[in-house]
Structure 1
Amino acid sequence: MPGRARRLLRAAATTVGGLMLLAASTTGAAARPAPQAPPGPNAPVRGAVQGRVLGSRAVTARNRAAVDRFRQLRSSRTPRLAGSTHHEWWGTKVSASSHALTSVIATQSVDTSLRLTDSDDVLYAPTLKPRDGACIEMVTVHTDDQPQVWAWDWCTRTGQDVGASVDVDSSFLKDYGTTVNGRSAYTVQVALTDPAGNTWTAYLYDYATKAWQTFFTSGGTDQAGVDYGWDMFEYYSAVDRSTGNVQVCDDLAGRTVESSSLQVQTSAGWSPADPDNSSVFPGDSMDPATYLCSGVTSSMVTPNSDWRVSVS
Structure 2
Amino acid sequence: MHTFTMPGRARRLLRAIAAATVGGLMLVAASTTGAAARPVPQSPPGPSAPVRGTVQGRVLGARAVTARNRAAVERFRQLRSSTRTPRLADSTHHEWWGTKVSASSHALTSVIATQSVDTSLRLTNSDDVLYAPTLKPRDGACIEMVTVHTNDQPQIWAWDWCTSTGQDVGASVDVDSSFLKDYGTTVNGRSAYTVEVALTDAASNTWTAYLYDYATKAWQTFFTSGGTDQAGVDYGWDMFEFYSAVDRSTGNVQVCDDLSGRTVESSSLQVQTSAGWSPADPGNSSAFPSDSMDPSTYLCSGVASSMVTPNSDWQVSVS
Report the TM range for the smaller structure's normalisation: 0.7 to 0.9
Q: Deviations over 1:104-151 (max 9, x none)?
A: 000000000000000000000000000000000000000000000000
Residues 35 and 179 of structure 1 are in contact (CA less than 8 Å); yes or no, is this contact kept in structure 2? no
Deviation at 1:74, TM superposition (A): 3.3
Aligned in 2, Cα 1:71/1:118: closer, same or farther, shift over 3 Å? closer
1:78 to 74, 77, 85: 85
Q: 1:162 maps to which residue?
A: 169
Note if contact 1:8-1:67 (Cα within 8 Å) is conserved in structure 2: no
Q: Which position in structure 2 is the counterpart of 1:40? A: 46
Deviation at 1:75, TM superposition (A): 3.4
Identity percentage of aligned residues: 92
2:71 equivalent in structure 1: 65
Shift of 1:216: 0.2
In structure 2, relative to structure 1, the CA distance for the partners of 1:204 and 1:70 (3 Å cut) is closer
Name the count of aligned residue pairs: 312
Q: Does the CA-based 8 Å contact 2:134-2:146 persist in structure 1?
A: yes
Matches within 5 A, 1:143-158: 143-157=150-164
How far the C-alpha of 1:81 sits from its partner, in A, is: 1.1
**What displacement does 1:43 show?**
1.2
Q: Deviations over 1:38-96 (max 9, x none)?
A: 74474110000000000010125999899678656633289971221100000000001
Distance 2:126 2:7 in 1: 22
Change (3 A) 1:26 1:40: closer
Is 1:155–1:223's contact at 8 Å kept on the other side of the alignment?
yes
Under a length normalisation based on structure 2, what TM-score does the superposition of the two structures give? 0.82
Query: Given the superposition, is the C-alpha separation of residues 18 and 180 from structure 1 closer, same or farther in structure 2, using an over 3 Å criterion?
Result: farther
Q: Which has the higher strand share?
A: 2
CA shift in 2, pair 1:283/1:174, >3 Å: same
Specify whether residues 166 and 237 from structure 1 end up closer, same or farther in structure 2 by C-alpha distance, changes over 3 A only: same
Gaps of 5+ in 2: 1-5
**Alignment partners' CA distance in 2, 1:5 and 1:235:** 41
Deviates more, 1:300-309 or 1:54-63: 54-63
Structure 2 CA distance for partners of 1:123 and 1:6, relative to 1, 3 Å: farther
1:135-170 deviation per Cα after TM superposition (whole angstroms, max 9, x unaligned): 000000000000000000000127771000000000
1:7-45 Cα distance to aligned partner (Å, 9 max, x none): 999999999999999999999999999999974474110
Distance of aligned partners of 1:37 and 1:227 in 2 relative to their CA distance in 1, 3 Å threshold = closer
- The residue that corresponds to 2:11 in the other structure is 6
State the structure with bigger RCO (CA 8 A, min sep 6), 1 or 2.
1
Q: Is contact 2:183-2:215 (8 Å) kept?
A: yes
What TM-score, normalized to structure 1? 0.84
Change (3 A) 1:237 1:18: farther
CA gap 1:70/1:255 in 2 versus in 1, 3 angstroms? closer
Which entry has the higher C-alpha Rg, 1 or 2? Answer: 2
Assess if the C-alpha contact under 8 Å between 1:5 and 1:81 holds in 2. Answer: no
Equivalents in 2 of 1:47, 1:247: separation in Å? 40
| Greater Cα shift, 59-68 or 95-104 | 59-68
